[in-house]
């Protein structure tokens, strides 16, 4: 069996480009005892992958130059020498960007394919959903009537955070980078949505949060965060989940020091990575699936088609091209 | 009874000066039923008072221009119409800068004068001690063998934080602003102490913390904090207790954005004010007193004499003149 692969060709300086990706093909042997051959169906592209392209130590190990890039993948078993994973079984796992993958089954989770579209197990019912679930409910803990601000609100995680905050009875304000995304957020039930590219951000946020901000779920960082810091209420909670505005910076980003503002409001800020919650994964999936089945949570995806379009879909994240989860449909 | 008072003459712009303080005298009537006349013995001067001199909303209400400045005071009952507070009783409370004070007894706490020098109830066994106690043990929660960094380590709070961290079995690094203070910290049991005014701070901190930093108790902010952020271990904890390096800033301080560093280490940062722990005050005083009586905790004070020297002692805080708690002995 011959498979296409996508390797990390070189580490990016600043914004990644197509030059970082190298396609090649590899011959895979037939599965040995205990192994399965997987056919890739859907590939997840996520902002955190930018961090793994750098050599610097971060919360996940760097990708190796010359090796396949890896991430969330939904795949189907097409040949099996493993009784636990029969042909036809759909699984989700952290897998290489390949059309076909040989696996010993370790780390593969069967997908309940009757409950939702397969791609949702990379979004609403996958890592982004769990990121929103634990990051908001465990760290921010919004109470009914409190004000929650979400940056990157139309992204894969942000759109779920906002819906979860509404389920908790909070007032929800989202920031996003286009009028289309703002309209989408309002349709999704956000109380206020702000286009950070066109609004006077500090004034717009202050107007949208007349009672101040109790919870801030940050996917973006930078100027949006600066504006939120000025509106924090006493005992505010901040989930620091992503900093996409700075991921491609080639110099250390500089800004107003936040410590004085966090001090005088007794704010708690927590750097958050969903991998710290692996032991509670089943609890989160169960609750998210329940809310989804009840119609309380919606998924939203921007789907690109074709294995060869994976790099373009990834690069599109940094241009704000996706609303909801960015997914590549491979087969 | 005539008393001297110290009023806030005007709000400072930047560093406060003697011009902010106005002495006057006031005639006090004899105590009515339920009242006591207090004679001030010791006055506490603290960095947080700088915040109260500004009009801006902070975690404590601003002082009023033309009214007495107030803070921690140890005083003795010299006339009493209140059976609960007999003549000779020594009390501690938040009281105005006056030589004599008329009080209805509200908010006054009797001092166990046999257990420690009276002034210690403004330091080791008072607000600074409790700030260290709850800020370190409740928020940072250092474990044996972990590395704790304390900025402003020779100050009223920092010197107690370091001792408490040693009691917990941690490795303790302090920063301070003179070689004398550094020597004092080493004598007090700190594993490492750094003069931030003369050292190459990032290099010195990295050398002092070869295992990285697990807990940071920050009284100072600014460049020291920037250097600590670069050394944080996974799941580090930061108690943001003070920011004395910025209290007199007339423009918004700017620096490298910390969010990326806090995110990739899953650090928790908590803005902290000891007033949030009022309900647990007795627990803290009991434990601190026990450790003091057992010889596990030492107090340290810089005592200035004379009511008229209170402004100078306060201004000295911002020149780093005090080692340990800055106290004014009035009578």
Average per-residue pLDDT for chain A: 95
The reply to whether A273 touches chain B by the CB within 8 Å rule is yes
Looking only at the bridges linking them, the beta strands covering A325-329 and A301-305 are parallel
The reply to whether A214 touches chain B by the CB within 8 Å rule is no
Question: Across residues A280-302, what is the average pLDDT?
Answer: 94
Give the sign of the dihedral formed by CA B281, CA B285, CA B288, CA B291: negative
pLDDT for the residue numbered A195: 98
The reply to whether A257 touches chain B by the CB within 8 Å rule is yes
Give per-residue pLDDT as tens, A135-167: 999 999 999 999 999 999 999 999 999 999 999
pLDDT for the residue numbered A241: 97
The reply to whether B256 touches chain A by the CB within 8 Å rule is yes
Asked if residue B53 belongs to a domain, the reply is yes
Domain count for chain A, please give it. 2
| One domain for residues B42 and B173 | no
CA distance B24 to B328: 18
CA distance B32 to B15: 41
Q: How far lies B181's CA from each of B155, B204, B207, in Å?
A: 9, 16, 19
What SS3 state is found at B203?
Answer: helix
Give per-residue pLDDT as tens, B227-277: 999 999 999 999 999 998 888 888 889 999 999 999 999 999 999 999 999
Q: How confident is the model at residue A250 (pLDDT cuts 50, 70, 90)?
A: confident
pLDDT score of A296 more than 70: yes
In this structure, what DSSP letter does residue A324 have? B
Q: How far lies B318's CA from each of A186, B15, B239, B244, B248, in Å?
A: 50, 8, 21, 8, 9
pLDDT for the residue numbered A37: 98
Which residues face A52 on adjacent strands? none
pLDDT score of A246 more than 90: no
- H or E element that contains B202: helix B201-208
Distance from CA of A327 to the nearest CA of B (A): 25
Distance from CA of A271 to the nearest CA of B (A): 4
ipTM of the prediction greater than 0.85, yes or no: yes
Give the sign of the dihedral formed by CA B290, CA B295, CA B301, CA B305: positive
Q: How far lies A137's CA from each of A147, A199, B61, in Å?
A: 14, 29, 32
For residue B218, the domain's CATH number is 3.40.50.720
Residue B157 has which token pair? 């709070």
Q: Which residues of A are less than 8 Å from B266 in CB distance?
A: 59, 270-273, 276
Asked if residue A293 belongs to a domain, the reply is no
Comparing C-alpha atoms, which of A40, A44, A41, A10 is closest to residue A28? A40
pLDDT score of A251 more than 90: no
Residue B36 has which token pair? 């006591």
- H or E element that contains B187: helix B179-188
Record: contact A271-B268, CB cut-off 8 A: yes
Asked if residue A285 belongs to a domain, the reply is no
| One domain for residues B150 and B225 | yes
Asked if residue A165 belongs to a domain, the reply is yes
Distance from CA of A139 to the nearest CA of B (A): 10
Residue of A nearest to B241 (CA): A263
CA distance A11 to A211: 45
Asked if residue A146 belongs to a domain, the reply is yes
C-alpha angle with apex A300: A295 to A304, nearest 5 degrees? 150
pLDDT for the residue numbered B59: 67
| One domain for residues A116 and A131 | no
| One domain for residues B39 and B85 | yes
| One domain for residues A183 and A245 | yes
Distance from CA of B273 to the nearest CA of A (A): 7
The reply to whether A259 touches chain B by the CB within 8 Å rule is yes
Asked if residue B229 belongs to a domain, the reply is yes
Residues 50-69 (A) with a CB less than 8 A from some CB of B:
51, 58-59
Domain boundary among A275, A291, A310: A275
Q: Which of A251, A259, A265, A275 to mutate to test the interface with B (most CBs of B within 10 A)?
A: A259
| One domain for residues A158 and A243 | yes
- Of residues A256, A267, A273, nearest to B254 (C-beta): A256
Q: How confident is the model at residue A59 (pLDDT cuts 50, 70, 90)?
A: low
Residues 111-150 (B) with a CB less than 8 A from some CB of A:
none
pLDDT in tens, chain B (331 residues): 899 999 999 999 999 999 999 999 999 999 999 999 999 999 999 999 999 999 876 667 899 999 999 999 999 999 999 999 999 999 999 999 999 999 999 999 999 888 999 999 999 999 999 999 999 999 999 999 999 999 999 999 999 999 999 999 999 999 999 999 999 999 999 999 999 999 999 999 999 999 999 999 999 999 999 999 999 999 999 999 999 888 888 888 999 999 999 999 999 999 999 999 999 988 999 999 999 999 999 999 999 999 999 999 999 999 988 999 999 999 9
The reply to whether A241 touches chain B by the CB within 8 Å rule is yes
Q: How confident is the model at residue A56 (pLDDT cuts 50, 70, 90)?
A: confident
Q: How confident is the model at residue A58 (pLDDT cuts 50, 70, 90)?
A: low
User: Number of CB pairs < 8 Å for A and B?
Assistant: 109
Asked if residue B293 belongs to a domain, the reply is no
Give the sign of the dihedral formed by CA A180, CA A181, CA A183, CA A188: positive
CA distance B246 to B252: 9
The reply to whether A250 touches chain B by the CB within 8 Å rule is no
Residue at token pair 């996508």: A6
| One domain for residues B306 and B264 | no
Residue A70 has which token pair? 């890896």
> Percent of chain A scored above 70 by pLDDT?
99
Give per-residue pLDDT as tens, A171-182: 999 999 999 999
Q: Which residues of A are less than 8 Å from B51 in CB distance?
A: 264
CA distance B116 to B297: 12
Q: Which of A264, A273, A277 to mutate to test the interface with B (most CBs of B within 10 A)?
A: A264
Distance from CA of A109 to the nearest CA of B (A): 26
Give the sign of the dihedral formed by CA B61, CA B67, CA B72, CA B75: negative
| One domain for residues B161 and B237 | yes
Comparing C-alpha atoms, which of B4, B12, B90, B5 is closest to residue B250? B12
Residue of A nearest to B244 (CA): A260
The reply to whether B262 touches chain A by the CB within 8 Å rule is yes
Distance from CA of B268 to the nearest CA of A (A): 4
Cα-trace Rg, chain A: 20
Comparing C-alpha atoms, which of A120, A87, A93, A117 is closest to residue A105? A93
| One domain for residues A192 and A89 | no
Record: contact A246-B257, CB cut-off 8 A: yes
Residue at token pair 């046999």: B114
> Percent of chain A scored above 90 by pLDDT?
91
- H or E element that contains B261: helix B259-264
| One domain for residues A271 and A132 | yes
For residue A92, the domain's CATH number is 3.90.180.10
Residue of A nearest to B242 (CA): A263
Domain range enclosing A100 = 2-122+300-329
pLDDT for the residue numbered A247: 83
pLDDT for the residue numbered B232: 98
Q: Which of A269, A272, A277 to mutate to test the interface with B (most CBs of B within 10 A)?
A: A269
Asked if residue B280 belongs to a domain, the reply is no
Q: Which residues of B are less than 8 Å from A272 in CB distance?
A: 263, 266
Record: contact A257-B262, CB cut-off 8 A: no
Give the sign of the dihedral formed by CA B226, CA B230, CA B231, CA B234: positive
| One domain for residues B192 and B264 | yes
| One domain for residues B22 and B113 | yes
- Of residues B234, B240, B252, nearest to A262 (C-beta): B240
């Amino acid at each position: 069996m011959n498979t296409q692969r996508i390797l990390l060709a070189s580490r990016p300086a600043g914004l990644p480009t197509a030059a970082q990706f190298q396609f090649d093909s590899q011959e895979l042997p037939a599965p040995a005892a205990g192994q399965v051959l997987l056919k890739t169906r859907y590939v997840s592209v996520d902002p955190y992958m930018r961090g793994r392209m750098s050599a610097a130590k971060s919360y996940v190990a760097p990708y190796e130059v010359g090796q396949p890039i890896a991430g969330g993948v939904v795949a189907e078993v097409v040949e099996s020498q493993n009784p636990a994973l029969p042909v036809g079984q759909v699984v989700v796992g952290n897998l290489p960007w390949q059309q076909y993958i040989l696996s010993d089954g370790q780390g593969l989770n069967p997908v309940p394919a009757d409950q939702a579209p397969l791609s949702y197990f990379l979004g609403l019912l996958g890592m982004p959903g769990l990121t929103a679930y634990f990051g908001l409910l465990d760290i921010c803990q919004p109470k009914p009537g409190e004000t929650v601000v979400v940056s990157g609100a139309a992204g894969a995680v942000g759109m779920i955070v906002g819906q979860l905050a509404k389920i908790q009875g909070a007032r929800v304000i989202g920031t996003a980078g286009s009028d289309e995304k703002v309209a989408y957020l309002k349709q999704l039930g956000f109380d206020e949505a702000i286009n950070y590219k066109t609004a006077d951000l500090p004034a717009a946020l202050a107007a949208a949060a007349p009672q101040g901000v109790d919870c801030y779920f940050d996917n973006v960082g930078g100027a949006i965060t600066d504006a939120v810091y000025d509106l924090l209420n006493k005992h505010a909670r901040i989930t620091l989940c992503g900093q996409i505005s700075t991921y491609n910076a080639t110099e250390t980003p500089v800004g107003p020091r936040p410590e004085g503002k966090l001090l005088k409001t007794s704010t708690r800020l927590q750097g958050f990575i969903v991998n710290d919650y692996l032991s509670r994964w089943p609890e989160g999936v169960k609750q998210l699936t329940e809310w989804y089945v009840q119609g309380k949570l919606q998924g939203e995806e921007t789907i690109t088609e074709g294995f060869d379009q994976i790099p373009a879909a990834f690069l599109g994240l940094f241009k704000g091209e996706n609303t909801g989860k960015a997914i590549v449909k491979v087969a």
